[in-house]
């Protein structure tokens, strides 16, 4: 197996990729000690079974530029195939402002093809390629050099089997005419906004028990400071302070350094220096936030008057549609969407795109009394009224 360590060799391999219908790609990275992922290895394979059709690229090699690979990522005639692509795509967007296009994610395609929810790569290798995987190198430090033969074999297997998986799923999608379904699902992964984390929006990911606008204003400022500090220092946000400490600080509203010393959950490093000063400033800003700038939680769904009988019928309909389409129920419509539809909401994902074709149209007809459901053996039948 070849490991590419020079830009010249990478350019030569990428030249071979031109004219190919697709390439399979995977990465190995570290993120335990940093905010942003550190790219440690890139695996690429071309269609075929020659030993030279799959390579490892070492982005840590002195002087190596990924520009030839980025050109392949931009080539509209080569499909870039990943499995569970989000973290891989985030790395290339953050580091190089490139999102591979056109894109194919075998995890997404497998869900559409009836392999269940968030199916793992190892499962697809077993079921489609009829092979097993050696996962002994799964948890390893990919930044250390030299890489062992076991590490290299493990990494390369993530793109060699992916060729067979892609070809199988692409055929199945064409046979069932579901290519557009996958394209709709991949729109989010192809959107740069997916990979941009704005500190001012970070508070929305913090789970709290209180929806008090003043309390949330403090949470917002603390989360903003933490995210900004973590990004600037390139450290995990948990190294600044964790969510439970953030919620505690928003509740106790410390004013002085000695107040921080009374915290039960705050890390020792956060009780002094820049972090401590940032905490006190954030709390003060939240406390003094003008009323017209206080954050508000959208509680419309919490206040919905759900028709429980209709919600139960929608669940039965969803089960029938899941069985007939072979698509996982949660991918079609999560429970929250069913309750929203039963409460009269129509702006939900289950009623748009391919989901509307599979489930949404009949869901609306059920709500309007235009269809009924009847048991037929072990299945459910839809009856027009």
**Distance from C-alpha of 176 to C-alpha of 108, rounded to nearest angstrom:** 15
Residues 25-78 have pLDDT tens digits of 999 999 999 999 999 999 999 999 888 899 999 999 999 999 999 999 999 999
Residues 262-304 have pLDDT tens digits of 999 999 999 999 999 999 999 999 999 999 999 987 666 556 7
**pLDDT beyond 80 at 312:** yes
Predicted pLDDT of residue 301: 58
- What's the alpha-carbon Rg for the chain, to the nearest Å? 25
The position carrying tokens 């028709």 is 307
Share of the chain above pLDDT 70, in %: 98
Contact between 328 and 111 (Cβ < 8 Å): yes
Mean pLDDT over all residues of the chain?
94
Predicted pLDDT of residue 222: 98
Predicted pLDDT of residue 305: 85
126-140, 327-341, 344-358 — which is least confidently predicted? Answer: 126-140
φ, ψ for residue 382, nearest 5 deg:
-90, 125
pLDDT bin (cut points 50, 70, 90) of residue 376 is confident
- Architecture, CATH, for domain 2-195: 2-Layer Sandwich (3.30)
Ordered by start, the domain boundaries in the chain are: 2-195, 199-293, 308-384
The position carrying tokens 């302070």 is 241
**Distance from C-alpha of 213 to C-alpha of 226, rounded to nearest angstrom:** 20
Q: Which two tokens mark 295?
A: 């954050």
**Distance from C-alpha of 170 to C-alpha of 166, rounded to nearest angstrom:** 6
φ, ψ for residue 82, nearest 5 deg:
-125, 165
CA distances from 211 to 239, 302, 356 (A): 26, 12, 33
- Element spanning 15, H or E: helix 7-17
**Distance from C-alpha of 278 to C-alpha of 272, rounded to nearest angstrom:** 10
DSSP 74-138: H-TTSEEEESS-HHHHHHHHHHHS---SSEEEHHHHHHHTTS-TT--HHHHIIIII------TTS
Average pLDDT over residues 119-143: 90
Give the burial class of 36: count Cβ atoms within 10 A of its Cβ; 0-12 exposed, 13-18 middle, 19 or more buried.
middle
Q: What is this structure's pTM?
A: 0.91
Pairing of strands 379-384, 79-82: unpaired
Indicate the class that CATH gives domain 199-293: mainly alpha
Predicted pLDDT of residue 302: 59
CA nearest neighbour of 155 among 84, 8, 47, 57: 57
Q: Which two tokens mark 100?
A: 């591979």
Residue 14's CB is within 10 A of a number of other CB atoms, namely 24
Residues 86-123 have pLDDT tens digits of 999 999 999 999 999 999 999 999 999 999 888 999 99
Residues 317-330 have pLDDT tens digits of 999 999 999 998 88
Contact between 224 and 199 (Cβ < 8 Å): yes
φ, ψ for residue 20, nearest 5 deg:
-80, 150
Residues 215-249 have pLDDT tens digits of 999 999 999 999 999 999 999 999 999 999 999 99
Pairing of strands 22-30, 379-384: unpaired
For 375, the 3-state DSSP assignment is strand
Contact between 362 and 317 (Cβ < 8 Å): yes
Predicted pLDDT of residue 134: 81
Average pLDDT over residues 138-154: 93
**pLDDT beyond 90 at 181:** yes
Contact between 154 and 137 (Cβ < 8 Å): yes
- Per-residue b/e over 302-341, b at no fewer than 16 CB within 10 Å? eeeebbeebbebbbebbebbbeebebbbebbbeeebbbbb
Average pLDDT over residues 157-178: 97
Please give the DSSP secondary-structure letter assigned to residue 148.
Answer: P
**pLDDT beyond 90 at 180:** yes
Share of the chain above pLDDT 90, in %: 88
**Distance from C-alpha of 145 to C-alpha of 103, rounded to nearest angstrom:** 31
């Amino acid at each position: 197996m070849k490991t590419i360590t020079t830009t010249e060799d990478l350019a030569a391999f990428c030249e071979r990729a031109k004219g190919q219908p697709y390439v399979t790609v995977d990465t190995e990275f570290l993120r335990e000690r940093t905010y942003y992922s550190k790219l440690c290895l890139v695996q690429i394979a071309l269609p075929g079974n020659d030993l030279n059709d799959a390579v490892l690229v070492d982005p840590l090699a002195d002087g190596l530029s990924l520009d030839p690979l980025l050109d392949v990522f931009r080539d509209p005639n080569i499909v870039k195939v990943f499995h569970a692509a989000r973290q891989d795509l985030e790395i290339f967007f953050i580091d190089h402002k490139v999102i591979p296009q056109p894109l194919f994610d075998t995890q997404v395609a497998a869900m559409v093809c009836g392999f269940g929810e968030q199916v793992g790569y190892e499962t697809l290798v077993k079921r489609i390629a009829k092979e097993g995987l050696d996962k002994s190198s799964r948890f390893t430090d990919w930044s250390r050099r030299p890489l062992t033969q076991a590490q290299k074999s493990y990494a390369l297997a993530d793109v060699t089997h992916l060729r067979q998986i892609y070809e199988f799923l692409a055929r199945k999608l064409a046979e069932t005419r579901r290519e557009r379904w996958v394209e709709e699902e991949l729109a989010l992964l192809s959107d740069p906004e997916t990979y941009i984390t704005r500190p001012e929006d970070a508070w929305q990911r913090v789970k709290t028990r209180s929806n008090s606008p003043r309390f949330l204003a403090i949470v917002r400022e603390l989360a903003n400071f933490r995210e900004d500090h973590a990004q600037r220092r390139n450290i995990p946000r948990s190294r600044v302070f964790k969510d439970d400490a953030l919620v505690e600080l928003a509740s106790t509203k410390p004013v002085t350094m000695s107040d921080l010393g009374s915290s039960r959950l705050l890390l020792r490093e956060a009780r002094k220096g820049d972090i401590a000063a940032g905490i006190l400033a954030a709390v003060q800003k939240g406390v003094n936030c003008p009323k017209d700038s206080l954050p508000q939680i959208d509680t419309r769904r919490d206040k919905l008057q759900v028709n429980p009988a209709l919600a139960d019928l929608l669940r039965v309909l969803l089960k029938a549609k899941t069985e007939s389409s072979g698509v996982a129920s949660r991918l079609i419509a999560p429970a929250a969407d069913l309750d929203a539809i039963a409460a009269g909401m129509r702006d939900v994902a289950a009623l748009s795109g391919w989901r509307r074709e599979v489930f949404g149209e009949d869901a609306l007809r059920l709500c309007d009394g235009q269809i009924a459901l009847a048991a037929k053996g072990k299945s459910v039948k839809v009856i027009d009224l």
